[in-house]
């Protein structure tokens, strides 16, 4: 990532999250369009589903997911770059989120290898409620080396609003 001096395993994501915390934006976001470098939504291209995003300084993002027809996927993708995890025993995250109604999503660490992408899902489902809540999850078994990595939030393909107030990745 350009101008990023943080070379730790979570350095690229930390850089993107800092950019999100400083961003002020409101409006539609095209599928695959980066909100800031390394942060984008992916939607099934065979649908007309869409995402409306609001970002206020000090927070990560609020997303209104508008589902007009069934689709195969709807994800938020956070690029981790090549993140070398060879010396790490545990990878996890802490998320602070809420939503007007109860929403759920599964989070995985996607690693690009010579054999293709490998998804390692975190054990817990991230659940958001009308009251802001903290979610903590970790996974001890991730590929040590990869050509690229992403954290992927798999949302249920239904209309919903999801507010990600804060997010931290930890690598031990």
CATH number of 11-171: 2.60.120.260
pLDDT at 8: 62
Question: Taking residues 117-138, what's their average pLDDT?
Answer: 95
pLDDT at 140 over 80: no
- With beta carbons less than 8 A apart as the criterion, state whether 55 and 61 touch: yes
pLDDT digits (tens, 9 = 90+) for 3-54: 544 456 677 888 999 999 999 999 999 878 999 999 999 999 999 999 999 9
Q: Which residue has the higher pLDDT, 128 or 7?
A: 128
Helix (H, G, I), strand (E, B) or coil at 89: coil
Helix (H, G, I), strand (E, B) or coil at 71: coil
The CA angle 57-81-92, to the nearest 5 degrees, is: 70
Residues near 18 by beta carbon (within 8 Å), at least 6 away in sequence: none
User: In whole angstroms, how far apart are CA 76 and each of 7, 38, 90, 114?
Assistant: 23, 11, 22, 24
pLDDT at 1 over 90: no
pTM across the whole model: 0.91
Q: Model confidence at 2, in pLDDT bands (50, 70, 90)?
A: low
Residue 119, both tokens: 């998804």
Q: What percent of the chain has pLDDT over 90?
A: 73
CB atoms within 10 A of CB 33: 11
pLDDT at 27: 95
pLDDT digits (tens, 9 = 90+) for 101-124: 999 999 999 999 889 999 999 999
pLDDT at 10: 78
> Which sequence spans correspond to the domains of the chain?
11-171
């Amino acid at each position: 990532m350009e101008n990023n001096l943080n070379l730790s395993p979570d350095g690229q994501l930390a850089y993107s999250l800092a950019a999100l915390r400083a961003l002020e934006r409101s409006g539609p976001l095209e599928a695959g369009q980066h909100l800031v470098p390394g942060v984008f939504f992916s939607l099934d291209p065979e649908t007309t589903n869409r995402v409306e995003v609001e970002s206020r300084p000090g927070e990560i993002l609020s997303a209104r997911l508008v589902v007009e027809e069934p689709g195969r996927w709807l994800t938020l993708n956070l690029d981790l770059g090549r993140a070398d995890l060879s010396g790490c025993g545990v990878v996890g995250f802490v998320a602070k989120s809420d939503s007007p109604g109860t929403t759920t999503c599964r989070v995985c660490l996607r690693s690009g290898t010579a054999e293709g992408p490998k998804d390692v899902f975190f054990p817990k489902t991230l659940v958001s409620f009308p009251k802001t809540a903290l979610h903590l999850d970790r996974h001890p078994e991730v590929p040590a080396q990869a050509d690229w990595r992403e954290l992927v939030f798999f949302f249920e393909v239904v209309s919903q609003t999801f507010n990600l107030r804060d997010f931290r990745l930890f690598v031990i």
